[in-house]
Amino acid sequence: MQTLQIFISIFMAAIPALVWGGIFYRKDPVYRSKAKETFLLGMLAVTPILLYKWSWQYFPDFNITNYANNLQADVFAFTSYLYLPVGTVLMFMFVGVIEEYMKHLVVKKADRGFFRNIDDAIEFSIISALGFAFVENSLYLYYIWEYQGIEVMLVSFVFRALFSTFAHVLFSGVYGYFYGIAYFADPIWSEEVRNSRHPVVNLLHTIFHLKRNRVFATEKISEGLILAIVLHAIFNILLEMNQTFFMVPFLVLGYTFLDQLFKRKENLKAYGYLTGEAPDPQLTILEKALK
């Protein structure tokens, strides 16, 4: 019976991954092997998180929840009935950092001079997220079925298929856009951004001899990661507070934002600030920034 539960949980977790993947995956068949590789790497990205949680039983000091619980008395009060413990916020930010950074490493591994445009960066970020969500959903569904029953598991499946899986798509898609900007933005655009900065920032760059391309690419990657982490934390906080009413507009707005990111790069292309084809991996701004 246990083996059957495992296979059914895996099968059910595959459904939202295939559906959302079909919605966002619009590449030619020639890219399927690369997509499969990225999906598998996304699945493997869950492993460090599982090892981290497993370590709690041997190294309880590593358990972030212990520290979060110590801060539960401190709260962000919105109303007398609606408040949020500081510990909960910090814990979800911590979780967001780990998960989004692991998915970032998958995208970094996937590019290797392969990406032709920002669409590639966004879509393969999404494929990475779907691999991550597939394993996460498989584990959640199995344990919920095992300890809470099949009825609760079915309800959880609907929620995770409609909301949680797409939430991962949203977070990684947003990050993928900024990663793509860092990867493809040419020196002219980076110079324009640099010149628009505050003079004090430019002075610091000059004092420390920071190369503008390296700083620009790092800033874009950091900006994407931070935004993905914040969105991730907001989603988890809404879930923790049982504010499911706000999840629908949150995800609808998120989908709209992601759709705008897809369209925005077309505008950037029109100005010639993006390359039309993937450059030599040895010459890309991003690769230089990550050396």
Q: What is the secondary structure of 116-169 as a DSSP string?
A: -SHHHHHHHHHHHHHHHHHHHHHHHHHHHHHHH-HHHHHHHHHHIIIIIHHHHH
| Radius of gyration of the chain, Cα coordinates, nearest whole angstrom | 21
Measured in whole angstroms, the distance separating CA 132 from the mean position of its chain's CA atoms is 10
The 8-class DSSP code of residue 241 comes to T
Tokens of 184: 């493809």
- Local structure of 71: helix, strand or coil: coil
- Tens of pLDDT along the chain (291 residues)? 688 889 999 999 999 999 888 887 765 555 778 888 889 999 998 888 888 888 878 887 777 777 666 665 555 555 555 556 666 677 777 777 888 888 888 888 876 667 777 788 888 899 999 999 999 999 999 999 988 888 989 988 998 888 889 999 999 998 988 888 777 766 435 555 556 655 665 565 555 545 555 667 777 888 888 888 888 888 887 777 777 777 788 888 888 888 887 776 554 553 344 443 444 443 444 444 444
- Separation of alpha carbons 6 and 24, rounded Å: 28
- Separation of alpha carbons 176 and 258, rounded Å: 10
Q: Provide φ and ψ at 43, rounded to 5°.
A: -65, -45
User: Are 84 and 76 spatial neighbours (Cβ–Cβ below 8 Å)?
Assistant: yes
| Other beta carbons less than 10 A from residue 106's beta carbon | 25
Instruction: Please state the pTM of the whole predicted model.
Output: 0.77
Helix, strand, coil percentages for the chain (3-state, nearest 5): 80, 5, 20
Per-domain residue ranges of the chain: 2-289
- Separation of alpha carbons 209 and 202, rounded Å: 10
Closest C-alpha among 109, 91, 89 to residue 45: 109
Question: How far lies 90's CA from each of 61, 101, 112, 170, 229, in Å?
Answer: 16, 16, 34, 21, 12
262 burial level (CB within 10 Å; 0-12, 13-18, 19+): middle
CB contact set of 34 (below 8 Å; sequence gap of 6+): 110, 114, 124
Which pLDDT value is given to residue 276?
38
